[in-house]
Amino acid sequence: MVLAELGGRITAALQSMTNATVIDEAVLKECLNEIASALLQADVNVKFVKEMRDNIKKVVNFDDLAAGHNKRRIIQQSVLSELVRMLDPGKPAYQLKKGKPNVVMFVGLQGSGKTTTCTKYSYYYQRKGFKPAMVCADTFRAGAFDQLKQNATKAKIPFYGSYTETDPVKIAQEGVERFKAEGCDLIIVDTSGRHKQEAALFEEMKAVEDVVNPDLVIFVMDSSIGQAAFAQAKAFKDTSNVGAVVVTKMDGHAKGGGALSAVAATKSPVIFMGTGEHMDELEVFEAKSFVSRLLG
Ligand code: GDP
C-alpha cells in the first residue's frame, strides 16, 4: 500500500464516523479497526498500532465525556496527535554549528541510498553557507568511491577516498583530519553497507565511528523495506550512536510505516526524506506537516 493510500484509508475511516448519526463505542471501535488495519498494511509495527489504539481509547472515554462534547473532533484530534507522537521521539537531532568542524557519519544497508543522501545532505547545507566535504570510507563495494567522486564533483564538494587503501578506518581518519585542517565545517563520512545486517558490517561501522568521533550519526533507510524496518533500524542503533534518520525513496511505492518504525527503534527523529535520485530531491521532514499531508 502506498503512502497516499494509507492517508486515504485513515481519512475515510474518520469520515465514516462523521457520517454516523450517533458516535458510540461500537462506531469508534469500527473506526479504530479500520485505521489499525491500514497502519498494519503500511508496515507500521504491530506493537505501535496496539499502543495507538489503547491511547485513543483512553482519551475518548464515553463514560467521562459529558454530553455536548464533540466526540468526533476529539477522536479525530487524538488520531492525528497519536500519529505525530509516533514520529516524534521527544528530542531534536543534533543541530550543525557554524564555525566548528561538524562530523556527520552516514550508516545504512547497501542500496538504501546512503551515498546519494550524503551528496544531497552536503548540497543542502552548502546552500545554507556551510563548507562541506565528503569522505568515502566504503572500501567494501567496488565503485563506491567512483560514485561518491562523481556526485561530489557535480555538486562541487571536495572529497577524499582511495582506490588502493583497503582499510576504511584509515581512510576515514585521514579524510576527516585533512578536511579539518582545510577548515571545512561539515565533514561527511560515508561508510560501507552490506546486503543485510551482519557482524562484519557492524564491526567496521563501530571502528570508523570510534576513530572519527562523529557529532551525529545518520541512519539511512529505504522506505520500501516493509516490516523489516524496525529490526533493521534497531540493529544499527544497538551498534552505533544513531541520532537521526533519513528515509529515502519516498517518491516510489513508499509505505509510511517504515518511518514510524525507524523513529521508534532508534529513538531519533526523521530529519529528511529522499524524494528522487537528484541532488536537490531532499525534503526537510516535519512530523506534523507529514501527518497532515498524509491525512489530506
Ligand atoms: P547506497 O548503496 O546506500 O550508497 O545507495 P545509493 O546511494 O547508491 O542508492 C541506491 C539507488 O537508489 C541509486 O540508484 C539511487 O539513485 C537511488 N536512490 C537513492 N535515494 C533515492 C530517492 O530518494 N528516490 C529514488 N527514487 N531513488 C533513490
**DSSP character at residue 226:** G
Q: Is 218 in the pocket of ligand 1 (CB under 6 A)?
A: no
Residue 91's pLDDT is 87
Q: What is d(CA 198, CA 202) in angstroms, rounded to the nearest whole number?
A: 7
Phi first, then psi: what are they for 274, rounded to 5°?
-85, 130
146 lines ligand 1 (CB under 6 A): no
Q: Is the CB of 114 under 6 A from ligand 1?
A: yes
- Ligand 1 centroid distance, CA of 275 (Å): 10
Query: Would you list the DSSP string of 15-68?
Result: HHHHHSSS--HHHHHHHHHHHHHHHHHTT--HHHHHHHHHHHHHH--TTTSPTT
Indicate whether residue 283 lines ligand 1 (CB < 6 A): no
Rounded to an integer, what distance in angstroms lies between the CA atom of residue 243 and that of residue 165?
Answer: 29
Beta-bridge mates of residue 247: 221, 273
pLDDT at 255: 63
CA-proximal residue: ligand 1, atom 16 (nearest): 277
107 lines ligand 1 (CB under 6 A): no
Per-residue confidence (pLDDT) for residue 66, from 0 to 100: 59
Determine the pLDDT at residue 13: 87
Nearest to 264 by CA among 104, 83, 113: 83
- ipTM for the predicted complex: 0.99
**Phi and psi angles of residue 253, each rounded to the nearest 5 degrees, phi first:** -85, 55
Ligand 1 contact via 116 beta carbon (within 6 Å)? yes
Do 212 and 190 meet the contact criterion of CB atoms below 8 Å apart? Answer: no
- For 129, 141, 244, 277, the CA distances from 148, given in Å and listed in that order, are 21, 12, 21, 14
The predicted pLDDT at position 1 comes to 47
CA 68–ligand 1 middle distance (angstroms):
52
The CA 273 to ligand 1 mean position distance, Å, reads 12
Q: Is the CB of 89 under 6 A from ligand 1?
A: no
Residue 274, ligand 1, Cβ within 6 A? yes
Cell numbers linked to 229: 524496518
Q: Does the CB atom of residue 110 touch ligand 1 within 6 A?
A: yes
* CA–CA distance, 68 with 89 (Å, rounded to integer): 34
Please tell me the pTM assigned to this model: 0.89
Closest ligand 1 atom to 248 CA = 23
Q: Is the CB of 223 under 6 A from ligand 1?
A: no
Using 50 as the pLDDT threshold, list the residues of the chain that sit under it.
Answer: 1
Rounded to whole angstroms, how far apart are CA atoms 101 and 254? 34
Q: What is the pLDDT of residue 7?
A: 77
Quote the pLDDT of residue 207.
Answer: 96
Q: What is the pLDDT of residue 137?
A: 96
User: Residue 125 in contact with residue 132, Cβ under 8 Å?
Assistant: yes
CA of 227 to the centre of ligand 1 (A): 20
Please list the residues that pair with 188 across neighbouring strands: 104, 134
Tell me, in angstroms, the distance from the centre of ligand 1 to residue 81's CA: 31
Rounded distance, CA 149 to CA 100, Å?
Answer: 24
